[in-house]
Amino acid sequence: MNWNETGIHAMHTGDYEDAAKSFTQAIEEEPENEVGYINFGNLLAIMNDVERSERFFQKALTLNDKAATAYYGLANLYYNTERFEEAAKLYERAIRNNLEGADGHYMLSKSLQMTDQLKLALPYAQRAYELAESDEEITLHYAILLASNELFDQAKPLLEELLEANSQHADAHYNLGVLYALTQEDPAPALKHLDAALEIEPNYDQARYMADMIRLRN
């Protein structure tokens, strides 16, 4: 029996007790295989057992210092506990060790964004978008970073792309409204999108504040 596969299935179905038993069995049968420790670390992270989760990821890395998913799991743990600088270093290590997919680049970009390194965050956001163009969350993040770096002409089509795919995307409307407010004297386009965001999410306080400010000025 593949105890890691059994544990992952149990974890995904919310049966954490069985998942823990399966990963324990996997570790006991192959104590020098880092995979069981990584899986147990992910399980403990889901259960918000930060201290034990960290130990399992670190143990995995002592067994294999090129285990990309161990770096990624530990980075997620640090990101979720607002240790953004440490998270960024670990996401970079995960990418360097050939972590597959867009997630590593996306989370590295977010970590750098959280430490106000907006220019440094931008190429990782771009790479994440290149790897997962249909991912709305990644596209929004990339658009916001472009706008934060005052690259409005590049941010605008991405936000429009989001709205073409999903006209009810409140965050895309909000950010496009802000972009128009910053780049056009005519308040109408900005208000159109800010009001759309409020129609979709009536409690969208940022959109309401921005719309009220524009109306006060005009």
pLDDT of residue 89: 98
Assigned domain for 68 exists: no
Residue 218 inside a domain? The answer is yes
Give residue 1's pLDDT.
66
**For residue 213, what is the enclosing H or E element?**
helix 205-217
How many domains would you assign to the chain? Answer: 1
Closest by CA position to 148, among listed 188, 117, 127, 186: 117
For residue 101, is it within any domain? Answer: no
Report how far residue 148's alpha carbon sits from residue 122's, in angstroms, rounded to the nearest whole number. Answer: 10
Structural domain span for residue 205 = 167-218
Query: Is the residue at 126 inside a domain?
Result: no
Specify the pTM.
0.93
Backbone angles phi, psi at 186, to 5 degrees: -65, 120
Contact criterion met (CB below 8 Å) for 146 and 158? yes
Residue 154 has which token pair?
């590049």
Residue 208 lies in a domain: yes
Residue 149 placed within a domain:
no
Residues of the chain with pLDDT under 70: 1
Report yes or no on 202 lying in a domain.
yes
Q: Which of 148, 85, 75, 133 is nearest to 107 (CA)?
A: 75
What is the model's pLDDT at position 203?
Answer: 97
Residue 213 inside a domain? The answer is: yes
Per-residue model confidence (pLDDT) at position 218: 78
pLDDT in tens, 165-183: 999 999 999 999 999 999 9
pLDDT at 19: 93
